[in-house]
Copies of this chain bind each other. A is one copy, B any other.
Amino acid sequence: MRIGELSERTGTSRRLLRYYEEQGLIAAARGANGYRDYDERFVDRVLQIRGLLDAGLPTRIIKQILPCLDQPRTIYFRDATPEMIATLRRERDRMTGHIECLTRNRDAIAEYLDAVLDYDRAPAPDAV
């Protein structure tokens, strides 16, 4: 598929797809005319990149850990340098902390929202 279709299927602008390629996150094949040519797997790949980006990882880290996340699972032991392992550990822990923080704040928002909605349903006479 060409870039337009991938763009539509992933909700990602063409510009961004080219940017991700420029950053080394994806590598499209090229047709004889120079057009990028993507296969099915790129749909998930792009969605995954968006997710990681949204999770706050910068492209340079995503580039590092993306190969580890391939489906079907392939373990690239060659890549398992001490630095790589350290990066993975660091990101895993960072993400865990991130998840906790996010969960706390999400819960606080949800709690507040529920309280407000409860109030709307049965307002107490002495509430503000």
Binding site for B on A (CB under 8 A): 48, 51-52, 54-56, 65, 68-69, 73, 75-78, 80, 85, 88-89, 91-92, 95-96, 98-99, 101-106, 108-113, 115-117, 119-120, 127-128
Contacts and interface: CB of A to CB of B under 8 A. Distances in A.
Nearest to A84: B116
Nearest to A96: B106
Contact of A112 (B51, B68, B111, B127): B68
A115 B52 contact: no
A102 B69 contact: no
> Most chain-B Cβ atoms within 10 A of its Cβ — which of A73, A89, A108, A127?
A108
Contact of A120 (B56, B80, B117, B120): B80
Given A54-B56, A102-B55, A75 B119 contact: yes
